[in-house]
Amino acid sequence: MSEPIIVVDRLTRQVSDATGTLTILHDISFTLSARESAAIVGASGSGKSTLLGLLAGLDVPTSGSVRMAGSDLFSLSEDARAAVRAERVGFVFQSFQLLAHRTALENVMLPLELAGARDARARATEMLARVGLGERLNHYPRVLSGGEQQRVALARAFVVRPQVLLADEPTGSLDFATGETVMQLMFDLNREIGTTLVLVTHDKSIAARCDRQLHIEAGRLLDALPA
């Protein structure tokens, strides 16, 4: 049996200031398999986004470990963690995080260019067509609707065929109908490419579509049961 794609072991994150020490995450452990989808759910301030940042290696825990595709993220240097992200991880954010001075096509080409892909333009063009934006290649983010911008962000995340996709409230800035369209596209691409999907959401209907739900309350994992 192959090793899980993500192994989280006794992950704890604390921050200290003049008033004392605050524990944001308490002793979190779970595993996720390749192609699995998981929703991180819980009230605001429960530690969901902190957990997502640790899974990406963007933050460093106080204790515990995260293994991604066999790599112990926190035994690596910051540059090495960045390399793991570039090779294996895609991101989708609520605020889209598109580069305003680049077209839709250029935004999607960027991660491929950074990876040295010679066919970046062709692959980005194909992925934008896949998300329904084949006629919007040369448009800048400012003239795209919120749903179109999020579809560009999805294309950028999936174009490198990541092993893991991390999404932080990916429909939080969208109206209901547009959000439904974007989420359907995300799950379709997830199945098509075989990416493990981990998303933070307040939307119970989105969480219910995932294979697993990771319930966080006051920094503690209550369960990791099937949805």
Q: Tell me: the pLDDT tens digits for 31-73?
A: 999 999 999 999 888 999 999 999 999 899 999 999 998 889 9
Report the percent of the chain where pLDDT is more than 70.
97
Instruction: Decide: 10 and 64 in contact? Cβ < 8 Å.
Output: yes
Q: How many whole angstroms separate alpha carbon 227 and alpha carbon 102?
A: 39
Strand, coil or helix: 196? strand
- For the residues 163-185, what does the mean pLDDT come to? 88
The sheet with strand 71-72 has its strands ordered as 20-32, 6-17, 63-68, 71-72
pLDDT top residue among 24 and 172 = 24
Cα Rg for the chain, rounded, in angstroms? 18
- What six digits make up the tokens of 107? 């935004």
Strand, coil or helix: 65? strand
Distances (CA, A) of 69 to 19, 37, 201: 38, 16, 24
* pLDDT of 227 strictly over 60: no
pLDDT for 81-105, tens place per residue? 988 888 889 888 888 899 999 999 9
The neighbour count for residue 212, using CB atoms within 10 Å, is 19
Residue with tokens 């991880």: 89
* pLDDT of 1 strictly over 50: no
φ/ψ bin of 218: left (φ > 0), alpha (ψ from -120 to 50), beta (otherwise): left
Give me the CATH topology for the region 6-223. Rossmann fold (3.40.50)
**Residues composing the chain:** 227
Instruction: Decide: 29 and 10 in contact? Cβ < 8 Å.
Output: yes
Residue with tokens 């935004």: 107
Residue 66 bridge partners (DSSP): 8
Domain ranges of the chain: 6-223
In sign, the C-alpha dihedral spanning 174, 51, 58, 72 is: negative
- For the residues 3-32, what does the mean pLDDT come to? 92
Instruction: Decide: 169 and 92 in contact? Cβ < 8 Å.
Output: no
Name the amino acid, one letter, at 43: A
Question: How confident is the prediction for the chain on average, in pLDDT?
Answer: 90
Give me the pLDDT at residue 48, please. 92
